[in-house]
Structure 1
Amino acid sequence: MTDKTRRWGLTVPLDGIPLADQRSIIEELPDLGYSDVWSSEANVADAFTPLALASVWAPTLRLGTAIVPVYTRGPATLAMSAATLASAAPGRFVLGVGTSSNVIVEKWNSIPFDEPYKRARDTLRFLKSALAGEKVTEEYDTFTVDGFRAGMVADPAPPVLLAALRPGMLRLAGKEADGAIVNWLSADDVRTVAPYVHEGGDGKEIVARIFVLPGYDTDTARAMGRRMIAAYMNVPVYRAFHEFLGRSDEFAGMWRLWAEGDRKAALEAIPDHVVDELIVHGHPDACREHVERYVEAGVTTPAMLLVADGDPAPMIRALAPR
């Protein structure tokens, strides 16, 4: 990258290395040109522990959650977790929250996935007050907080981003958060979603989790990509997202066959060009150039989720910004 102000992020924890053994490559990231590490929270690690480790291993990296579900932690617990990490790494932590999906919230955590838009909005409003150290007594539409005041207040308070897919949530991210976190979209799709975020004002951040499979041959990468795509695109929120993006016809065969139980045929029904748009793969130089297309389209922080064959360290070095 020629513009040194631009960010270049990586998803942690890294796949293929035990968490306790990731120190050496995390320590190396700033020298390679990486600016950020972003965690997630689904069925692997929690969102905060890998970032706490990274904050010590590489004290210049910016740390972000992409994302913490707004349902699976109570509002006060979420605020305390964010304030703790923001206090441990002053000015270097970004809290990304989102509704997640009915699978994670309902099927895995036995929590009703009710009124996701309102839950996200209410959580943003609560966090704005709680992270500022204010005492919160408020009846929100989706929860009530009675007399909470955080005993640890970070200075500065961390920015808060909202995971968003379709216009309503994208506008909410721009209006009531500091920006949006997006995923499972092509570089060209960024031009569709970014304007909704920027309706909320200038300076809004857009973080994109980008799935990167470097070094595989095309057939292998596409086969892996099809499995990844099918796992997400049959979840209602992601299906609706790609209907909004205009991929109803391209995914129609996959959706029909998946519903009929023919998983093999469903995977085969995903067109090659759709895989190539949604999954970055090929030679590391080509992967880097593809990720740069997201930045050119309006992503302020690419957060690559690397799927490597074996030890990911060589590919992390190969994908470092030039």
Structure 2
Amino acid sequence: MVLEVGRIGLWAAQRQWPTDVRTRTEIAVEVAAMGIPTLWIGGASGDLELPAAILDGTEGLSVGTSILNIWTEKADIVADHYAMLAKAHPDRLLLGFGVGHRALVEQATNRRWERPVEVLLDYLDTLDELGVPREDQALAALGPRVLEIASRRTAGALPYLVTPEHTRKARAVIGPDTLLAPEQKVVLETDPGRARATVRRSLAPYLAMPNYVNNLRRLGFTDDDLAGGGSDQMVDALVVWGDVDTVLARVAEHHAAGADHVAVQVLTDEPAGLPRAQWARLAEAINS
């Protein structure tokens, strides 16, 4: 049985969270009280320390890792910590895994980027051997090959930096029964200039990563779209900006295209901390 993630969750990078357990727990309790069913942890570490603080401090709130990098997070360590958390908090933890990005992986590990799909399959085999249930695993997947692996070997797919059109194409690949939970970036700002400036600051690192650039090309974006921090057309397609109703309309587009769940990442001009005020605004609208 796949854990219940609900229709909409909140995504934030681990680096945005405070380091002390007490404050982490207080924030998790705050999110649970908003009625949000799932928190997604970007760039999670294999010791699952942050998911543990969230799970230990709440009842019913689910946590997903988005993602655990298969090159840097050892499968046996992940499996050990998963087993402890799954026993204490059954059906509340979804482990998202991914191959990451060549330049970052080679810098972090001193390993050559060779046959990443084979490395991924070997990693999934190891998780099977270590007893991590497939229904508690998902994959960061953009292209057809990894989407197919996600549908065959795990509970689902976690596409990142995508459009509703990608969601539609991904659903066609994975079929009707596989969890599809794309991430959607949002900016709660109605001024076009300020909103797009915030978006471009966030997009800059991704536009230097071949995985994302290749996927954007598959979606029909051109060299002109990718230049200069991104065309207005591409910026607006990837990141929805405006008032709460505009943001939720884009989320609804993903659902209409086949998403089971949408992980909402709020972008601000202060990316170091969590956007708790914006989370509260979104939650109020979602639950109204």
| Alignment correspondent of 1:239 | 213
Q: Which structure 1 residue ranges, 5 or more long, are not aligned?
A: 133-155, 255-265
| Distance of 2:206 and 2:89 partners within structure 1 | 33
Q: Which has the higher helix share?
A: 2
Alignment check: 8 A CA contact 2:190 2:242 kept: yes
| Alignment correspondent of 2:177 | 203
| Distance of 2:179 and 2:9 partners within structure 1 | 13
Alignment check: 8 A CA contact 1:66 1:181 kept: yes
Q: Offset of 1:15 from its aligned partner?
A: 7.3
Q: 2:138 matched to 1:161?
A: yes
| Distance of 1:13 and 1:240 partners within structure 2 | 23
Q: Please say which of residues 238-247 and 167-176 is displaced more in the overlay.
A: 238-247
Q: Please say which of residues 75-84 and 217-226 is displaced more in the overlay.
A: 75-84
What TM-score do the two structures reach when normalised by structure 2? 0.86
What TM-score do the two structures reach when normalised by structure 1? 0.78
Q: Please say which of residues 57-66 and 73-82 is displaced more in the overlay.
A: 73-82
| Alignment correspondent of 1:258 | none
CA RMSD of aligned residues (A): 2.4
Over the matched positions of the two proteins, sequence identity in percent amounts to 26
Q: Offset of 1:159 from its aligned partner?
A: 1.4
Alignment check: 8 A CA contact 2:14 2:50 kept: no
* Count of paired positions: 276
Match of 2:26 among 8, 24, 27: 24
Q: Offset of 1:108 from its aligned partner?
A: 2.8
Alignment of 1:1-322 (within 5 A): 6-12=6-12, 18-20=18-20, 21-41=23-43, 46=45, 48-131=48-131, 159-198=136-175, 202-215=176-189, 217-251=191-225, 254=227, 266-267=228-229, 270-308=230-268, 312-320=275-283, 321-322=286-287
Residue identity matched to 1:82: Y
Q: Secondary structure at the match of 1:52?
A: helix
| Distance of 1:231 and 1:182 partners within structure 2 | 17
Taking a change above 3 Å as real, the CA distance of residues 18 and 76 of structure 1, as seen in their structure-2 partners, is: closer
| Alignment correspondent of 1:145 | none
Taking a change above 3 Å as real, the CA distance of residues 103 and 204 of structure 1, as seen in their structure-2 partners, is: same
- For residues 289-317 of structure 1, what are the alpha-carbon distances to aligned partners after superposition, in whole Å with 9 as ceiling and x for unaligned? 22222122112121112223567222111
Q: Which structure 2 residue ranges, 5 or more long, are not aligned?
A: none
| Distance of 2:212 and 2:51 partners within structure 1 | 27
Q: Secondary structure at the match of 1:183?
A: coil
Q: Offset of 1:165 from its aligned partner?
A: 0.9
| Distance of 1:65 and 1:8 partners within structure 2 | 15
| Distance of 1:102 and 1:196 partners within structure 2 | 25
Q: Secondary structure at the match of 1:182?
A: coil
| Distance of 1:71 and 1:131 partners within structure 2 | 20
Q: Secondary structure at the match of 2:159?
A: strand
